[in-house]
Amino acid sequence: MPSFDARAAKALAAGDHLTIDSAPGLRLVASATLRTWTYRYKSPLDGRMRQLRLGHWPAMGLPAALAAWQTAKQQRDAGADPALSKREGRQQQRQQIDQARADRRRQAYTVARLCADYLQAYKGTVASKTYGELQRLFDRDLGDLAEVPAAELTRAQAYGLLDAMRDRPVVAKRLRQGLGAAWDQ
């Protein structure tokens, strides 16, 4: 096992690094608050220098850092770029999360559905002209809030919608009344 001095690692100033002679490219890089194991290498794909973070010291000791380095080095030696692979994995994970959120939003009880349900119950209790005006307000002026899940709508979002209608205070007042009534139902 290569020699590693924990005292020297602890004493590293921000921006300095230690290298491990028996593991080319493996370094312990110091920042103001952390010590991070990294693997620096030339990409087999484009010849550019790349860096891959392996973990933080002391949570990841030298044996674990060597094992992670060995895995990344084997990937590089096989012709793959470990940093790009990791980045692509994160992008795929982000896309899956975004897709799951979009699916939840489609299935969620949205502000538009809440307003439609209120209008359905409201239909027989008022004159058709009054009903038509409220339906027109909901259809025309809800904007982006229509697709927001009703349970996730914040006071700031609702206020932002009404505040954007300052030039039409009567319309804003009627919309606020209609939304308040829909929420109270």
Cβ neighbours of 161 (radius 10 Å): 20
Distances (CA, A) of 143 to 106, 124, 147, 167: 16, 26, 8, 16
Q: Which residue has the higher pLDDT, 53 or 150?
A: 53
What would the two tokens of residue 152 be? 């996730």
Report yes or no: 57 and 9 within 8 Å, Cβ to Cβ.
yes
Residue 104 has pLDDT above 80, yes or no: no
Asked if the peptide bond before residue 58 counts as cis, ω within 30 degrees of 0, the response is: yes
Q: What is the mean pLDDT of residues 64-79?
A: 90
Residue with tokens 């975004």: 98
- SS3 at position 1: coil
pTM of the model: 0.52
Helix, strand or coil, per DSSP, at residue 14: coil
pLDDT of res. 113:
87
- Percent of the chain predicted with pLDDT > 90: 14
pLDDT of 1 > 60? The answer is no
Partners of residue 50 on adjacent β-strands? 41
Q: What is the average pLDDT across 73-97? A: 89
Q: Is the pLDDT of residue 2 over 70?
A: no
